[in-house]
Chain A
Amino acid sequence: MKELAFHILDLVSNSLDAGAEHVKISLILEKNTYILTVSDDGKGMDPETLRMALEPGFSTKGTEGQGLSLVKELAEKTGGSFSVRSKAGEGTEITALFKKDSPFMIPAGKLGDALAPLLPEKAEIVISVKSEKGSTEISTAELMKDGSPDEVMAARKLINKNTDIFGGSVL
């Protein structure tokens, strides 16, 4: 079973592959609901591509095309919801709501570990996490200067530690 952090990796990978220079990940725990938003300034999708992108197996990159459709399926299975707003040339925003106490909810995993492969790239990723326990915001632009393994390892650990406010993992 894939942890939620790995679904977030899929979404952010899509953003970077769409040429985004800035990606924002927002994770909010509100009562019984996790609210995940991933927004970017990539090339966006026209209505037809957007419609196809939600179908399992659709990909513009020659990959399996399981990223977006699996997040949608997971959110809906838990009794939450899923939406995408996108416009060609303007970027994409994906919002998924997951119900925490659903038997279909999956382990969160560590966000730093999952996002590490994206850190050497030039795009800025901002991670914002908020719950009753507190909130935090991390920008990779402050952590990454040359994309060296030293930086990636340090940033990965810092993201793991600072997104741990929901207890034991990112959510």
Chain B
Amino acid sequence: MKSIAEINAIRDKMQSQIKLRDNSKTEETHIVIGMGTCGIKAGAVAVFNAFVDEVALKQIAGVKVMRSGCMGKCDLEPMVEVTVPGKEKVTYINVDEKKAKEIIEKHILNGKAIDAYLMK
């Protein structure tokens, strides 16, 4: 039987390992665009390409732009989830190409989510 101190030490060690793993998972910023039929109909492909172009042209490192399936709220498409390492995921709604550029500029480059475009 291990002592409480030993168990606590094991717990602390494991927690730090888990934290390390979690950090490694979220080192990249993820921009995920809902690309179900409803999203595509609402213009999600142009939004995807606007994000890709902005990230590539501005040479922003550590950002991945990806698609997902339907995000479940068809009338709010195109929907975009942004996950910045160490911060909570936020979801933008009714995104268009202009808003995509603004999200890159204000949120990705300057760290400030744009409240007006977020899902409430």
Binding site for B on A (CB under 8 A): 2, 6, 9-10, 13, 17, 61-67, 113-114, 116-118, 120, 147-150, 152-154, 156
Contacts and interface: CB of A to CB of B under 8 A. Distances in A.
Q: For chain B, which range describes its interface: under 10, 10 to 19, 20 to 34, or 35 or more residues?
A: 20 to 34
The majority secondary structure among interface residues of chain B is helix
Given A64-B37, A66-B37, A114 B64 contact: no
B40 A116 contact: no
B54 to A, nearest CB: 8
B51 A149 contact: yes
Contact of A6 (B38, B45, B49, B64): B45
A6 B49 CA distance: 14
Contact of B65 (A64, A114, A120): A120
Contacts of A17: 69
A9 B64 contact: no
Interface centre among A2, A10, A64, A149 (most CB of B within 10 A): A149
B65 to A, nearest CB: 5
B66 interface: yes
B93 interface: no
A153 B37 contact: no
B56 A150 contact: yes
Contacts of B65: 120, 149, 152
